[in-house]
């Protein structure tokens, strides 16, 4: 069969070039292409498999600059692995989109996709058309999703009783490095979300929650500040370290004589003029200070810097000030304190001031670093989670873990249906899908059965990571599930003696699980549908 | 000895004669092979990585051919007809290329036997005219008076197109969406009034259609978060004005000789901006959108006055907003109050909503909603890109079908009908043309044959069944992909607009004629070769 990639010859036997750079282009076609995809997909999934579950291990990644990251968050691992293979890249995006949408379950989705691909390989060997496999997978996914809806339970969402929410957050945190203070972290996450959640619209604005980290102290020192923490200090060392009942002027104009934006030049020809200029500048400074004093502010937060003269004047007028506060922080402070951002001194009025009950400088041990903590704000629906930890890696990982926990709680606010984790819902779905498979008259039956097997890969990995004999544990649980008709039985990763996940309160959100299954299925369909890959040759690089 | 006369530039490649025609035909066939497997519901996708490492996964003939970077001059014709089919009707790009390839393949034997190309061309032209006439004759007209019926027709056409794409499983969902979006447009059905926004994450079913405009939150300055994010019946101003504090003229320079002037200049600059802002505020606008940046001062000004603003809005988004909400794009803020409000647009609801990890601005319930926006969700970038291409095809088909209400049955049915008609006709003419028209008739069978081959069916068997059915005047019998059999595709609702087929037939024939009529290729070497020649000359001296 003549095809592009092989050479075509004209009547004199000379090769005819049809494509640009044809000789150097690489091409994979047909079943070979499928095999190579599956291999790549499996390789990526295998990397992640060991980080699944509460007994999952972390990965250490060293970036080209020598930065070290230690994490067990699937999306982070994949994005830092710099996968080159095209199919691998698709899996990376898969975990990223799970991360964007749900925030948790990024490892699980990749493991599931990998397992689906692995089982597809066996079916391909049997000679089943790849699209029929994909069709079968989608049928199976539909069955699984319907079953999930059936076994899902509605969760009480009560602002007074946060315990259930905390339990869910704990499930997420259970697999992270910070599970030493699981409870505390979960409480922090839940409180933070509850602080900013808009219960009416069932929406949570993440921009109101800031996660700050600082190396030093212990993980237990992590705290939730109902307010804003800024990595800045007062501009003058002699300013007071603590302000109570602060009225804050939030400025985005520098403390210096105003300059026109148009290019300008001031010709000074004599001493008189020069003195005038000095006078003018001085006058401007006093004017500014006066404007602030008049508005009644007793604290100044400024986006820009001020020069020493202004600094001194502020000090002498007993106006503590903070300079070089970044744009997003200024905004957070403004929202928290109910103040308005003021772009010009002329516009400063008493109404535009923000209010905070307590502002203090935090200092850390013996280091000379300080941070500013703004608390008891007027509208305290912004909050900051301030993470402490022994080293940078732990702090970073704790931040990621908290992010996951926050996402999970947010998802519960949006949709308060849950399923049980620990592989319980996967096993239950697998049983259901396998049952359905027998009812399908066409070849898709095989694909559906393969889907059921693939679903079991999550509990298998969980059991394996927890040090059990995976197949034995899984078959035990499966037998129990069928015998007791109880979809809440999962893998007892922590060896607590019961494998009823309800008793263990291992809970996951329904939308997270649904998302995992549907995303993985769609991606696998896409991969299976490709039968031809063309890569540019090395020569072009 | 005769002196040698050089006519062409050194290095010019020229080849001619019969062998040249044959070599062109083989090149075209090689290209056809490359996209052969993408046809039909069981067609596969291609993954193509370009020189810059960007991967594209597609099943769309035109897209694939474009990315293959074909340099062979005759083969490029195929790329062009695929493109023209894409531009004209948007779908059927693969089949048009396949058809051309097959016509050429069948013509090849005649060329080899020494038949003159012009005779072949004449016969092909005749057959084409006949084929198009036949399509028009047997096409079924659907009454468009009934809106419900029209919808049903359009949805079926969209479904047929989508069935060969990645989103085949969700085709019911998407065909509704496509039809809805097209029906929202005005009579001219301008394609650019359907916006497609891609947000990774989420599953395909979470894609949605917005009757109105939606676009991603633009870059914002401090103060943005304090703006209100929801307005009922807002007054919308669309600007092409920069709202930033900046030098009004770039190359101007101001010379000052007096300190007192200084403040005046500064004030003057501020007042330019404030003037604009005040005018806008005074006109009672709630939402300000601008193509040009809106600076931090303006953002805070608007935030202070409960107005929403977004700067650097993409031009096409702005245009669509204008189309949807009415109003005009304002280039100066003078005379805002004079004209009686018609410069401003409005809509029922403006809202900013979180989709996945992105925030989107929605304008819904627009009074002149002749525009629609699709928000596509999916696991990976490539995935959504392909969905977008598929939907584009479907939209084009639906647009065509709205204007043109005659349809034919797909799945190879119409091709078989044409093939039979032409074969019958060929027997009525004496002379060489008989053979060619018969060959042309046979070429049509490539579509059902390829459909079978891609699905892994026994193509010969199915084709024979089809021929038999068509001989009994069952003109709508085509391949039944789902059950490996033949079926009446008109009843099975595999419908395509007749105009798509007519266009495909004409384009394919014309391309085939074009390629057949070329008997000499003169290829001028790249001009980059010239300096090397000059260098040689230099060396010789």
- Three-state DSSP class for residue B330: strand
Classify burial at B227, counting beta carbons within 10 Å of its beta carbon; exposed 0-12, middle 13-18, buried 19 or more: buried
- Tokens 């979809």 identify what position? A487
Q: Are A350 and A260 in contact (CB under 8 A)?
A: no
Are the CB atoms for A336 and A380 separated by under 8 Å?
yes
Q: What is the pLDDT of residues A435-493, one digit of tens each?
A: 988 888 888 889 999 999 999 988 898 888 888 888 998 998 889 888 888 888 888 87
pLDDT in tens, B177-209: 888 888 887 777 777 778 888 887 777 778 888
Best mutation target among B263, B379, B482, B521 (most A Cβ atoms within 10 Å) is B379
pLDDT band at residue A8 under the 50/70/90 scheme: low
Q: Give the per-residue pLDDT at A448.
A: 92
Token representation of residue B133? 């006439």
Domain A227-260+267-379 in CATH 3.50.7.10? The answer is yes
Q: Does residue A49 sit in helix, strand or coil? A: helix
With CB atoms and an 8 Å threshold, state whether A533 touches B252: no
B529 band by pLDDT with thresholds 50, 70 and 90 = very low
What was the pLDDT predicted at B340? 55
Q: Check: CB of residue B409 under 8 Å from CB of residue B142.
A: no
Closest chain A residue by Cα to residue B17: A11
Rg of chain B over Cα atoms, rounded to whole angstroms, equals: 30
Distance, in Å, from the CA atom of B30 to the CA atom of B8, rounded to the nearest integer, reads 30
**Measuring CA to CA, which residue among A323, A329, A383 is closest to residue B222?**
A329
Mean pLDDT of A398-407: 87
Angle between helices B61-68 and B73-88 (to 10 degrees): 150
Q: Which regions of A283-339 does DSSP assign to beta strands (E)?
A: 299-302, 321-322
Residues in A closer than 8 angstroms to B281, CB to CB, are none
Please write the tens of the pLDDT for every residue from A490-534: 888 777 778 788 888 888 888 888 888 988 888 898 888 888 888
* 3-state class (DSSP) for residue B412: coil
Task: Please tell me the predicted confidence (pLDDT) of residue B248.
Answer: 63
When pLDDT is cut at 50, 70 and 90, the band that residue A537 belongs to is low
Q: How many CB atoms lie within 10 A of CB B87?
A: 11
> For residues B20 and B88, is the Cβ–Cβ distance under 8 A?
no
Strand partners, B289: B238, B310
pLDDT over 80 at B239, yes or no? yes
What pLDDT sits at residue A114? Answer: 92
pLDDT at B362: 86
**Contact between B30 and A8 using a beta-carbon 8 Å cutoff:** yes
Q: Beta strands of B50-96 (E only): which ranges?
A: 55-58
Q: Measure CB to CB from residue A531 to each of B15, B37, B266 and give the nearest one.
A: B37
Provide CATH 1.10.560.10 ranges for chain A. 27-154+420-534
Half-sphere exposure of A247 (CA within 13 A, CB side): 13
Residue A417: enclosing H or E segment and its boundaries?
A: strand A417-420
Tokens of B2: 């005769």
Confidence bin at B527 (pLDDT 50/70/90): low
Query: Is the alpha carbon torsion for A133, B94, B414, B157 positive or negative?
Result: positive
CA distance B252 to chain A (A): 6
Between B521 and A62, the higher pLDDT residue:
A62
Percent of chain B surpassing pLDDT 90: 13
Q: Are A476 and A467 in contact (CB under 8 A)?
A: no
Q: How many Cα atoms are found within 13 Å in the side-chain-facing hemisphere of B505? A: 27
Tens digit of pLDDT for each residue in B463-493?
999 999 999 888 889 988 878 888 898 888 8
| B381 and B200 Cβ atoms separated by less than 8 Å | yes
Q: Are B353 and A414 in contact (CB under 8 A)?
A: no
Task: Looking at the structure, give the CATH architecture of the domain made up of residues B212-250+264-368.
Answer: 3-Layer(bba) Sandwich (3.50)
Average pLDDT over residues B223-228: 77
- For A276, name the nearest residue in chain B, comparing CA atoms only: B259
A99 in helix, strand or coil? helix
Active site residues of A: 73, 106-107, 404
Taking the mean position of all CA atoms in its chain, how far away is CA A450? 31
Would you say A367 and A194 are in contact if contact means Cβ atoms under 8 Å apart? no
| 3-class DSSP string for A216-283 | ECCHHHCEEECEEEECCCECCCCCCCEEEEEEEEEECCCECCCCCCCEEEECCCCHHHHHHHHHHHHH
pLDDT in tens, A320-346: 888 888 877 888 888 888 888 888 887
Q: pLDDT band for position A3 (50/70/90)? A: very low
Ranges A52-66, A250-264, A433-447, B403-417: which has the least confidence: A250-264
Q: At B402, is the secondary structure helix, strand, or coil? A: helix
What CA–CA distance (Å, rounded) separates A75 from A48?
10
Judge if pTM exceeds 0.90: no
The pLDDT tens digits for A286-302 are 888 888 888 888 888 88
Residue with tokens 């009025």: A349
Paired sense of beta strands A530-535 and B45-49, if any: parallel
The CATH number of A27-154+420-534 is: 1.10.560.10
Instruction: Provide CB contacts within 8 A for A14, sequence distance 6+.
Output: none
Sign of the alpha-carbon torsion through B221, B222, B223, B226:
positive
Contact state of B33 with A267 under an 8 Å Cβ cutoff: no
Q: Do B296 and A343 touch (CB under 8 A)?
A: yes
What is the spatial distance between Cα A212 and Cα A408, in angstroms, rounded to a whole number? 19
The CATH topology of domain B13-141+408-523 is: GROEL; domain 1 (1.10.560)
The structure tokens listed for B267 are 């004030």
Decide if B456 and A129 are in contact by the 8 Å CB cutoff.
Answer: yes
- Inter-chain residue contact B226 with A341, CB threshold 8 Å: yes
> In Å, how far are B11, B532, B534 from B538, measured between CA atoms?
19, 10, 6
Please tell me what DSSP assigns to residue A409.
H
The whole-number pLDDT of residue B195 equals 83
H helices of B139-245, in order, are 147-162, 171-184
Q: DSSP string of B495-518?
A: EEEHHHHHHHHHHHHHHHHHHHH-
Section A181-195 average pLDDT:
85
Mutate to test the interface with A, among B26, B380, B452 (most CBs of A within 10 A): B380
> How far apart are the CA of B290 and the nearest CA of chain A, in angstroms?
21
Distance CA A189, CA A137 (A): 36
* ipTM score above 0.85: no
**Is A340 within 8 Å of B356 when comparing Cβ atoms?**
no
Using the Cα atoms of residue A411, residue A412, residue A417 and residue A420 in order, give the sign of their dihedral: positive
| Chain segment B357-385, per-residue pLDDT in tens | 778 888 887 776 678 888 888 777 778 88
Q: Which of A11, A18, A331 sits opposite B27 (nearest CB)?
A: A18
Predicted confidence at residue A87, as pLDDT, reads 85
- Phi, psi torsion values for A215, nearest 5 degrees: -70, 140
Size of interface A-B (CB pairs under 8 A): 250
When pLDDT is averaged across residues B37-53 and rounded to a whole number, the result is: 83
The two most distant CA atoms of chain A are separated, in Å, by 101
Instruction: Give A487 to chain B, closest Cα distance, Å.
Output: 25
- Kindly determine whether residue A21 and residue B69, on different chains, have CB atoms separated by under 8 Å: yes
Q: Report how far residue B197's alpha carbon sits from residue B374's, in angstroms, rounded to the nearest whole number.
A: 6
| Per-residue pLDDT, A5 | 46
Four-residue CA torsion sign, A16, A21, A26, A28:
negative
What is d(CA B310, CA B290) in angstroms, rounded to the nearest whole number? 6
Using a CB-CB cut-off of 8 Å, the residues of chain A touching B24 are none
Task: Give residue-wise pLDDT tens across range B15-33.
Answer: 777 888 888 888 888 888 8
Backbone angles phi, psi at B341, to 5 degrees: 60, -5
Q: Residue B522 is inside which H or E element, if any?
A: strand B520-523
Whether A10 shows a pLDDT value over 60: the answer reads no
The nearest alpha carbon in chain B to A336 belongs to B226
Q: Which residues contact B267 (CB under 8 A, 6 or more apart)?
A: none
Q: Are the Cβ atoms of B252 and A262 closer than 8 angstroms?
A: yes
Decide if A33 contacts B57 (C-beta within 8 A): no
8-state DSSP, A58: P
Q: Are B117 and B519 in contact (CB under 8 A)?
A: yes
Candidates A1, A2, A3, A4: best to mutate against B (most CBs of B within 10 A) is: A4
Higher pLDDT, B334 or B199: B199
> What mean pLDDT is predicted for residues B101-121?
90
- The set of residues, in sequence order, having a beta carbon less than 8 Å from that of A13 and lying 6+ positions away, is none
Q: CB-based burial of residue B540 (10 Å sphere; 0-12 exposed, 13-18 middle, 19+ buried)?
A: exposed
Query: What are the residue ranges of CATH 3.50.7.10 in chain A?
Result: 227-260+267-379
Q: What is the CA radius of gyration of chain A?
A: 30
Task: Measure CB to CB from residue B455 to each of A129, A207, A303 and give the nearest one.
Answer: A129
Q: Is the pLDDT of residue A14 over 70?
A: no
> Which residue of chain B has the CA closest to A266?
B256
Give the gap in angstroms from C-alpha A528 to the nearest C-alpha of chain B. Answer: 8
In DSSP terms, A250 is beta-bridged to A301, A341
Q: What is the mean pLDDT of chain A?
A: 82
Tell me how far the alpha carbon of residue B50 is from its chain's centroid.
20
Supply angle C-alpha B428, B431, B435, rounded to 5: 75
Measured CA to CA, the distance from residue B353 to residue A533 in angstroms comes to 38
For chain B, give every residue range classified as CATH 3.50.7.10. 212-250+264-368
Residue located via tokens 């001020």: A306
- Among all residues of chain B, which has the CA nearest to that of A541? B51
Mean pLDDT rounded to a whole number for chain B: 82
In angstroms, the separation between the Cα of residue B433 and the nearest Cα of chain A is 27
């Amino acid at each position: 069969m003549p095809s592009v990639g092989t050479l075509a010859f004209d009547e004199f036997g000379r090769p005819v070039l049809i494509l640009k750079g044809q000789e150097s282009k690489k091409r994979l076609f047909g079943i070979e292409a499928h095999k190579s995809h599956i291999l790549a997909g499996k390789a990526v999934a295998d990397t992640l498999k060991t980080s699944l579950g509460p007994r999952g291990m972390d990965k250490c990644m060293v970036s080209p600059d020598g930065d070290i990251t230690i994490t067990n968050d699937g999306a982070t691992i994949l994005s830092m692995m710099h996968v080159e293979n095209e199919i691998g890249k698709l899996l990376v995006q898969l975990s990223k989109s799970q991360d964007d949408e749900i925030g948790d379950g990024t490892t699980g989705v990749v493991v599931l996709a990998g397992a689906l691909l692995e089982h597809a390989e066996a079916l391909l060997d049997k000679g089943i058309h790849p699209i029929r496999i994909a069709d079968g997978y989608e049928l199976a996914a539909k069955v699984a999703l319907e079953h999930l809806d059936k076994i899902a339970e509605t969760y009480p969402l009560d602002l007074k009783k946060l315990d259930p929410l905390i339990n869910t957050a704990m499930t997420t945190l259970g697999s992270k490095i910070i599970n030493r203070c699981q409870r505390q972290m979960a409480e922090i996450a839940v409180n933070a979300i509850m602080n900013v959640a808009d219960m009416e619209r069932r929406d949570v604005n993440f921009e109101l929650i800031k996660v700050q980290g600082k190396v030093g102290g212990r993980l237990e020192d992590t705290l939730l500040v109902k307010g804003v923490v800024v990595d800045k200090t007062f501009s003058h060392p002699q300013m007071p370290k603590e302000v109570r009942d602060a009225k804050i002027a939030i400025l985005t104009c520098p403390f210096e004589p105003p300059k026109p934006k148009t290019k300008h030049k001031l010709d000074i020809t004599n001493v008189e003029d020069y003195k005038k200029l000095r006078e003018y500048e001085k006058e401007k400074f006093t004017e500014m200070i006066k404007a602030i004093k008049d508005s009644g502010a007793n604290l100044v937060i400024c986006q820009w810097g001020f020069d020493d003269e202004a600094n001194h004047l502020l000090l002498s007028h007993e106006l503590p000030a903070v300079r070089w506060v970044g744009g997003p922080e200024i905004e957070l402070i403004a929202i928290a304190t109910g103040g308005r951002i003021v772009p010009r001194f002329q516009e400063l009025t008493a109404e535009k001031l923000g209010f905070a009950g307590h502002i203090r400088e935090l200092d850390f041990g013996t280091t000379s670093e300080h941070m500013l903590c703004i608390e008891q704000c007027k509208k305290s629906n912004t909050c900051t989670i301030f993470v402490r930890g022994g080293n940078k890696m732990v702090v970073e990982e704790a931040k990621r873990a908290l992010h996951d926990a926050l996402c999970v709680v947010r998802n519960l606010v949006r949709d308060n249906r849950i399923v049980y984790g620990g592989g319980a819902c996967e096993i239950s779905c697998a049983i259901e899908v396998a049952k359905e498979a027998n009812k399908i008259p066409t070849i898709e039956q095989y694909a559906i059965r393969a889907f059921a097997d693939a679903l079991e890969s999550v509990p298998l990995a969980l059991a394996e990571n927890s040090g059990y004999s995976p197949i034995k544990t899984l078959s035990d649980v499966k037998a129990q599930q069928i015998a007791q008709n109880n979809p809440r039985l999962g893998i007892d990763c922590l060896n607590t003696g019961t494998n009823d996940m309800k008793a263990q309160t291992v809970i996951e959100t329904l939308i997270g699980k649904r998302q995992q299954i549907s995303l993985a299925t769609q991606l696998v369909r896409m991969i299976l549908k490709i039968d031809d890959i063309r890569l540019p040759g090395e020569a072009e690089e | 000895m005769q002196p040698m006369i050089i006519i062409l530039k050194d290095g010019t490649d020229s080849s001619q004669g019969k062998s040249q025609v044959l070599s062109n035909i083989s090149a075209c066939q090689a290209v056809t092979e490359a996209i052969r497997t993408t046809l039909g519901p069981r067609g596969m996708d291609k993954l193509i990585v370009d020189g810059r490492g960007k991967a594209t996964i597609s099943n769309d003939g035109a897209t694939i051919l474009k990315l293959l970077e074909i340099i062979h001059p005759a083969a490029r014709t195929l790329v062009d007809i695929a493109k023209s089919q894409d531009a004209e009707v948007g779908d059927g790009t693969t089949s048009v290329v396949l058809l051309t390839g097959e016509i050429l393949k069948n013509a090849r034997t005649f060329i080899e036997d020494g038949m003159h190309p012009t005779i072949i061309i004449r016969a092909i032209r005749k057959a084409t005219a006949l084929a198009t006439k036949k399509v028009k004759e047997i096409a079924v007209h659907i009454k468009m008076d009934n809106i419900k019926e029209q919808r049903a027709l359009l949805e079926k056409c969209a479904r047929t197109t989508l069935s060969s794409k990645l989103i085949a499983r969700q085709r019911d969902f998407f065909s509704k969406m496509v039809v809805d979006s097209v029906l929202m447009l005005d009579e001219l059905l301008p394609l650019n009034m359907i916006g497609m926004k891609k947000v990774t994450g989420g599953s395909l079913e979470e894609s949605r259609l917005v009757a109105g405009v939606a676009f991603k939150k633009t870059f914002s300055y401090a103060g943005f978060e304090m703006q209100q994010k929801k307005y009922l019946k807002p007054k919308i101003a669309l600007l092409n004005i920069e709202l930033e504090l900046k030098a009004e003229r770039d190359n101007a320079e101001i010379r000052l000789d007096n300190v007192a002037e200084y403040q005046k200049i500064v004030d003057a600059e501020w007042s330019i901006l404030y003037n604009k802002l005040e005018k806008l505020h005074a006109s009672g606008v709630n939402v300000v959108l601008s193509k040009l940046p809106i600076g931090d001062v303006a953002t805070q000004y608007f935030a202070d006055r409960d107005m929403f603003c977004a700067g650097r809005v993409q031009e096409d988004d702005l245009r669509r907003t204008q189309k949807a909400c009415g109003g005009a794009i304002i280039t100066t803020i003078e005379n805002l109050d004079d004209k009686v409000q018609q410069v401003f647009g409005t809509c029922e609801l403006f809202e900013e909503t979180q989709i996945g990890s992105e925030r989107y601005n929605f304008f819904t319930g627009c009074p002149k909603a002749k525009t629609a926006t699709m928000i596509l969700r999916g696991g990976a970038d490539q995935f959504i890109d392909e969905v977008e291409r598929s939907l584009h095809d479907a939209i084009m088909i639906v647009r065509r079908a709205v204007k043109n209400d005659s349809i034919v049955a797909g799945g190879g049915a119409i091709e078989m009908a044409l093939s039979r008609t032409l074969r019958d006709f060929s027997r009525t003419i004496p002379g060489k043309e008989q053979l060619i028209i018969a060959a042309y008739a046979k070429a049509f069978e490539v579509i059902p044959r390829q459909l079978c081959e891609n699905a892994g069916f026994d193509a010969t068997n199915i084709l024979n069944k089809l021929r038999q059915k068509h001989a009994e005047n069952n003109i709508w019998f085509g391949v039944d992909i789902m059950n490996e059999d033949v079926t009446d595709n008109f009843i099975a609702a595999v419908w395509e607009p007749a105009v798509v087929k007519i266009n495909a037939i004409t384009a394919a024939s014309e391309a085939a004629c074009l390629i057949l009529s070329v008997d000499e290729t003169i290829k001028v070497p790249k001009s980059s070769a010239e300096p090397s020649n000059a260098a040689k000359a230099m060396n010789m001296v």
